[in-house]
Structure 1
């Protein structure tokens, strides 16, 4: 059972670290960092504001997922929110691939990671529910 707990917490931990990293990339200094990674310029206060708001959203979600690791009573909700978040990002990217074509390598890797993290979360949630039902 201990390995199972570590494995299911690993999902939230890796999701948190990934989203924290991406959040900081988007929001620390968008007008300097984002042109380095992506093919666009951030050249207005409003765009800086949008990317810093995205950073805040990402950091807030990652913080909740970390709470789910350390407070077991929040684990299911944190996992469900992680599944919805990763699935929502993947869904949007898939729509973009269909409508716009294949994106650059960083965005393609992001799509794959989001799909993997979504399915890993679904697997963990199903296992947790199955385990709980069989304990009764």
Structure 2
């Protein structure tokens, strides 16, 4: 019983595991290495403040997803927040693309990955909760 239950739990939580394991390092990059990770070279205090705030949001959401893995009663909310987080990023990146032009390749890759993770969250909600789409 333990093995099957563990396997089901890890499959059910896979989207949260993937999202948190990507978003925590990405958040740290926004906060501490935007030049290295994203080619952001502006050194103004205002931009650094914005990037640290983005880092905080990324890490806070990722930690909530970890809570959703550990505490099943938060799984649904964590999954919904993963969906909204990922598709919110996709929306913002597409708007930026249309308004300012083609982004760096890492952000184009990000759009695809974020869309897929959001879609995976939808599929997980359909499979493991009472949510309807």
Cα pair distance change 1:64/1:47, threshold 3 Å: same
SS in 2 for 1:102: coil
Deviation at 1:101, TM superposition (A): 3.2
Partner of 2:21: 17
> Is residue 34–residue 42 contact of structure 1 (8 Å, CA) maintained in 2?
no
Whole-angstrom distance in 1 between the partners of 2:71 and 2:106: 33
SS in 1 for 2:117: helix
Deviation at 1:43, TM superposition (A): 1.2
Q: TM-score, normalised by structure 1?
A: 0.84
Could you list the runs of 4 or more consecutive aligned residues of structure 1 that deviate by over 4 angstroms after TM superposition?
A: none
Task: State how many pairs are aligned.
Answer: 127
**Gap runs ≥5 in structure 1:** none
Partner of 1:27: 31
**Gap runs ≥5 in structure 2:** none
> Is residue 23–residue 59 contact of structure 1 (8 Å, CA) maintained in 2?
yes
